[in-house]
Structure 1
């Protein structure tokens, strides 16, 4: 079984949104995407004071892809035009399939705005193939206690979708995406296999890690060569975001909140949104 090695590193650049600390490793100056993985925003870590304004993501549209949101710390309230609502707390996730079109809001609950507290959130965009871009929207919100935790060699994998160590995650991905985050202890490691021919996403959220002797610093994204498996190790405690997916061998045309296969489909998305065909998400009051 051959191991994957790092072929390139991409540091996240700061792109704060108001008072929200935001880092973005992809897309970046030298990388548009990692195969099926299109975009990552890393918000925080930071601590909000009492009486804060909360997160700034009021109602906005999406079409043609999925958003996977990891609430590492704090709370996130979701509402969308398909009728889904939830408040997900630290350690939980939100997986939204925008499909043919949805308007959603991602805000801080009223209790968090009143009391404040620590916040760290990751949002990853995952592409959909043409056959699924106009699928019906769906939403899965899972609290921390619904996400399996698989312990290994000094590492703990929080399994969102796919299988690991004989355990299955709570999300059944439409395209067979494996998604997780892992905490790695000092001198610990996590190994993932079944990667041959897959697009692999690896981001160092907290702390420095290494792959086959090559360092992956905190807040960096790794590009990996092909192979069957990868082992991520750490000399000090670290957190990583790790996923893999089948390649989607189709054109990718992205503009603003829409990801389609052609410029004409992007124009149609804007037309449909302006015509009110995505519906409306009410602001969350939780």
Structure 2
């Protein structure tokens, strides 16, 4: 039986931006921008490409807590430094990914890397919140550093481009990031005229962010820079053809069919668990981190 095409549900323009701290100008595609089913991905903040002026004091977001999920930050332009209360720190440059599991609770801060801040320049990032199932919400915090130079890559035929596998599997090439539920997270870097094929289970929630360029989806729909392509749960095969050189962030995952109780930086299953998180944070149980 021939596999069915996964139909495009909608091509969504970037919602109006808002600032997170003074360093991230983001368009929230979901859950606030559009009410679309994307579990296990709970939130997508897209910092479309902008120019930041040079500055001695790095812009960013000060110390704040998280519990019950993971943050995944993907750099396309610029550089971001990170510190957390579990003792992890690092800098991500274009092509790099940091995958932080907040789990039972963590404090962290994110800001423009010092040298980038002093020079200024183009800045473009994505941050995802990946939900954790109830059984893993109180897992120990951890940090996965996925450097572009070490990332698993699949070279497409006929010079079409390459698929960078951050997590999951593309044609037998596995990403190094480990996940709590089944999901795929790729960057497709396609050359003009290049074509790529994707195969995800019909029931997995799937979306593409067009980071750069223009792409034709399933030989019919055209999406361009800063748009989000949302797919129906009705098939498995997707084709993407680059109408010009393009970069596409591809996310697909098995939904976590559990209740959600979210308040600010806490993503739990029940309101009382959110209240417990607030109490624990106020009592200093998330550790300590210098401002």
Q: Same fold (TM over 0.5)?
A: yes
Q: How many residues align?
A: 283
Whether contact under 8 Å (1:192, 1:229) holds in the other structure is yes
**Pairing of 1:33-112 with structure 2 (within 5 A):** 33-51=37-55, 53-112=57-116
Whether contact under 8 Å (1:37, 1:201) holds in the other structure is no
Cα distance change, pair 6–259 in 1 and its aligned pair in 2 (3 A) = same
Structure 2 portions without partners, runs of 5+ = none
Cα distance change, pair 105–29 in 1 and its aligned pair in 2 (3 A) = closer
Shift of 1:32: 5.2
Paired residue for 2:4?
A: 2
1:165-199 CA distance string (max 9 Å, x none): 32211112122321111122222222111423212
Paired residue for 1:148?
A: 152
1:124-170 CA distance string (max 9 Å, x none): 11111101111111101122111122221513211111121322111
1:231-273 CA distance string (max 9 Å, x none): 1222122221102111111111211111111111111111111
Instruction: Tell me the TM-score normalised to structure 2 length.
Output: 0.90
Cα distance change, pair 44–32 in 1 and its aligned pair in 2 (3 A) = same
Aligned partner (choices 19, 32, 56) of residue 28 of structure 1: 32
Shift of 1:20: 4.2
Paired residue for 1:215?
A: 222
Whether contact under 8 Å (1:99, 1:136) holds in the other structure is yes
Superposition CA RMSD, Å = 1.8
Structure 1 portions without partners, runs of 5+ = none
Paired residue for 2:205?
A: 199
Whether contact under 8 Å (2:23, 2:60) holds in the other structure is no
User: Does the alignment pair 1:277 with 2:279?
Assistant: no
Whether contact under 8 Å (2:210, 2:225) holds in the other structure is yes
Q: Give distance in 1, aligned partners of 2:64 and 2:118.
A: 24
Shift of 1:24: 1.9
SS in 1 for 2:70: strand
Instruction: Tell me the TM-score normalised to structure 1 length.
Output: 0.92
User: Does the alignment pair 1:238 with 2:238?
Assistant: no
Whether contact under 8 Å (2:23, 2:111) holds in the other structure is no
1:52-88 CA distance string (max 9 Å, x none): 5433211111111111110111111111111111112
